[in-house]
Amino acid sequence: MDMLKRPRRLRGGELMRRMARETRVDKASLIYPMFVQEGTNSVDEIPSMPGQYRWTVDRMAEKLNSLADAGVSNVMLFGIPDKKDEIGSGAYAEDGIVQKALREAKKEVPNLFYIADVCMCEYTSHGHCGVLCDHDVDNDPTLDLLAKTALSQVQAGADMVAPSDMMDGRVLAIRNILDANGYKETPIMSYAVKYASAFYGPFREAADSAPSFGDRKTYQMDYHNVREAVKEALLDMEEGADIIMVKPCMSFLDVVTKVHQETNVPIAGYSVSGEYAMVKAAAERGWIDEDRIVCEMAVSAFRAGCSIYETYYAEELARYITEGRIG
């Protein structure tokens, strides 16, 4: 048979396949989400997320050093406070759990890049992401508290802040307060496209952040919508967002692609707790090859348009890159 074009020529061997590869995954693009809690000398496994832990501040350097050794340079911190109240005051307290963790991390493992999640849900007694008015979150009063939270985190050592609350106008409020206090160079990674998703269940156990009533559908996005995602991304860019995040990742890759096409800033995808838990559960039963699934999921995010990937598998992915199994 006379064929001039044979696509299989570029698949004939591992070296050829790697040379012709269209999508690359790099360690520098990975972010590891880490839970820090009050107390001392504790490392507590999260039941719904096998292999993931809540760390006390005095023990967190163990994980940070392990990440650094693997080549993961970016960590996002989520805090679990001892006490909560109606206005989530622990989120912006000088001695809040994330603030203490940032100071310790900067001292013990200063070569990593620390990102602070900016939200109220872990700190409010009702589990919602801001100040309540009746049974809904009151947007505008919440902005002041989110801005105070971001400022306190940067003052404690955060290299970047990541508002995840989905309040209208919060990026501008944070940008203004950071600039006014001399932090004009601190970037903002906005969870601009955060859906009201069932994939967050294990995280809410890990962070003790489930709402005590109702749900978050009045502020997180309807998962039926994609044009709205572009609107949210463009609004946050106008307010000063430097990076746009899409969350969750796996079931929203079409959204990643659309936002990537319509914007000119880096796009981050967050492979969330439910994705992690499903892979772990299936792998424990021997139904899937965990390592290969993790690699495919990561590549799919980058192929869709992500240039940053947040995942609980960051350390494993870094090792797979070193081993040449992905990259």
CA distance 184 to 179: 5
CA distance 39 to 122: 16
Contact 270, 246 (CB under 8 A): yes
Q: What are phi and psi of 308, to 5 degrees?
A: -135, 140
Catalytic position from the list 84, 100, 247, 280: 247
Q: What does each C-alpha distance from 146 to 21, 153, 161 come to in angstroms? A: 42, 11, 11
Catalytic position from the list 194, 231, 258, 280: 194
Active site residue 184: no
CA distance 95 to 244: 29
Active site residue 100: no
Q: What does each C-alpha distance from 63 to 56, 79, 112, 151 come to in angstroms? A: 11, 16, 12, 26
Q: Annotated active-site positions, please? A: 194, 247
